[in-house]
Amino acid sequence: MDKSVKYIKDRIKNTPEIGIILGSGLGDFADTIDEKVEIPFTDIPDFPVSTVKGHDGKLIFGNISGKEVCIMKGRIHFYEGYDISDVVYPVKVISELGIKTLIVTNAAGGVNLDFEAGDLMIITDHINLMGKNPLIGPNDEKVGPRFLDMTNLYDKELVELAENSANKLGIKTQKGVYMYFTGPSYETAAEVRMARILGADAAGMSTVPEVIVARHRGLKILGISTITNMGTGVLDKPLDHTEVVEVGKEVSGKFKELLNKIIEEI
């Protein structure tokens, strides 16, 4: 990891204080940044490369509302064939750059029947249905504890800040629990029903490993899901990744407005 961190530090002027991971179809937010420095994942030593449409694979540094930020335009998914340690490697690297707050976003399927495509859901908790945990293995006590407390995982103050920011802008938001499936196949109708019974409001294929590692490293975390489709069986139509990306683009205006306001208020 030292090589990755050094390569990046040699190319940026300021220490980022906020990290942002952009999910499928949400990459346009990175266009709002001032004093931009872009570093492709492919240029960074030892850094894994995203292979999914809608994930450009760049680290973008700069300034938003007077805050120094590091944006991951695209992420690494377990379903791409990477080991779980590779999936969370970027979060470890950007934490070493100095960020204190991580805003993690994703595209998700709606499980809650009161949701609809295009909603923005502030994550209040998650369910790790994958069964894998990125902290399995030797633990470095200098980084974080062996047995990690998950109380207030998605920071309550940041959740409230995000809600207040949305209210000021007149943007409707939902709140709810995100359930993590490995993918890449979408959930079956039975799995969506199960998720609802277990208390999930949305389902997706990312975020949870990143959040666990970020918490282990002491970061404050805010999660926001774009509900790009309703889960299998909720509506009588098949699911398509192209639709996921398109809905992400359709809501990108209010998403960018909300994210800018949140960063301003932090």
Catalytic residues: 24, 55, 77, 79-80, 107, 205-206, 229, 241
What are the CA-CA distances from residue 118 to residues 110, 121, 190 (Å)? 10, 10, 23
DSSP tag of 232: B
Phi, psi (degrees; rounded to nearest 5) at 143: -90, -50
Of 223, 67, 211, 33, nearest to 135 by C-alpha is 211
What are the CA-CA distances from residue 18 to residues 21, 39, 112, 240 (Å)? 10, 17, 30, 32
Helix, strand, coil shares of the chain, percent, nearest 5, are: 35, 25, 40
Of 102, 180, 167, nearest to 134 by C-alpha is 180
Query: In the structure encoding, which two tokens stand for residue 186, read together?
Result: 């979408």
Which residue shows structure tokens 């809905």?
Answer: 247
Contact predicate 6/251, CB 8 Å: no
Of 229, 224, 207, 221, nearest to 78 by C-alpha is 207
Contact predicate 31/252, CB 8 Å: no
What residues are paired with 102 via a beta bridge? 19, 221
